[in-house]
Amino acid sequence: MVIIPFWRRKIYPPGHLLGGYKVIRLMGEGRFGICYLVDLDGKQYIIKEIKPKTIKKSGEKIIFEEKILSNIDHPSIPKLVNTIKDDNMYAYILEYKSGKTIEDMIFGDNHIFTSDEIYKIGIKLIDIIKYLHERNIVHRDIRVPNVIINEDAVCLIDFGLARLANNERYRMSEDFLYFGHLLLHLYYTSFKKTNRKSQPWYYELELTEKEMMFLKRLIGIEERYNSIIDIECDFFEIFKANCE
């Protein structure tokens, strides 16, 4: 169930036309935009309407998502198809990626991720991050609601916080931190609490020494990783060892 904040000016119902696209349903809401599943000539898309208060508050910052998506071509990232800019709406038309978010799988389906699934999701996310970092892009929001799973396909969505890295305010290491926390969400799906008192994850989870160090470096408890290439190498070695 989607909860609509009381201050919302308008929610477009199924059948409503937005720039020629027919609304199928409301998909959800992020910090900066409201997303609808829409149809045009029998093909489905996502319309992400930027919130008026975001436009007023952020000004030119809202164009970052449009600029970044316009220069990205990766099968695991929704393509920017078009934009709607008029007095009533500022919105992006995005390629629709079917599937479920990791958030829905964990908290809606109570899905327990196996070691094999964690590896397959992790290695594909690393590939996406590597693609972005090679283009000097830092996503800054790699969280469970922004990763879609559809069988073997893994997609990263919502580039509202994405920026060009500058090693000052916008650093590649932000993505490493988010990636580490996302992996912890996956690991915790198989965790069974044995006592009432909560403990830090590095005490609660049953991890190998290499897994433990890998996650600590991602999150910054130990010496941080310098590049996604180093992360890719260590991640592969950890799961290769786990399968032996």
List phi, psi (to 5°) of 30: -110, -170
Cα–Cα dist 132/147, whole Å: 15
The yes-or-no answer on residue 141 being catalytic is yes
Of 116, 127, 141, 152, which residue is the catalytic one? 141
As a whole number of angstroms, the distance between CA 154 and CA 231 comes to 18
Structure tokens that stand for 89 in this block: 């709406």
Matching residue, tokens 């590649």? 172
Residue 156, strand partner residues: 147
The count of other CB atoms within 10 Å of the CB of residue 243 is 9
**Among 20, 10, 14, 50, residue whose Cα is nearest residue 34:** 50
Query: Within 10 Å of residue 203's Cβ, how many Cβ atoms?
Result: 7
Contact assessment for residue 89 and residue 24, using Cβ atoms and an 8 Å cutoff: no
Q: What's the rounded Cα separation, in Å, for the pair 27 and 183?
A: 25
- How far is C-alpha 33 from the chain's CA centre? 14
What residues are labeled active site? 141
